[in-house]
Amino acid sequence: MKQCMDADNLHRRLKKIIGQVQAIDRMIDEDVPCEDILSQINAAKSALHKSGQVILEGHIRHCVRDGIEHGDVNKTIDNFTKAVERFANIT
């Protein structure tokens, strides 16, 4: 499904998230206050959530549109519903 997402954008986002997680790991070793670590965990979580939004938007703009225009509409709706359910379960 690479054609339905901006892979360069997602790779850039994921590299930043990896950096954030590595920084969190260092913070633990450096005895940084818990509140600061939790703040950074929340920032990484938000960044990961935004990456999911980018993927879901690409899915809608490409996969869903193509499925409705050229494919099985019921299958497209089922796949879209599954994608939304999976995204909604990200906490």
Write down the pTM of the prediction: 0.82
DSSP secondary structure letters along the chain: -GGGS-HHHHHHHHHHHHHHHHHHHHHHHTT--HHHHHHHHHHHHHHHHHHHHHHHHHIIIIIIHHHHHHS-HHHHHHHHHHHHHHHHT--
Rounded Cα–Cα distance for residues 29 and 5 (Å): 36
pLDDT (tens place) for every residue of the chain, 91 residues total: 567 778 899 999 999 999 999 999 999 999 999 999 999 999 999 999 999 999 999 999 998 999 999 989 999 999 999 999 999 886 5
Number of domains in the chain: 1
Rounded Cα–Cα distance for residues 56 and 44 (Å): 18
Domain that holds residue 43: 2-88
Question: What CATH number does residue 84 fall under?
Answer: 1.20.58.1000
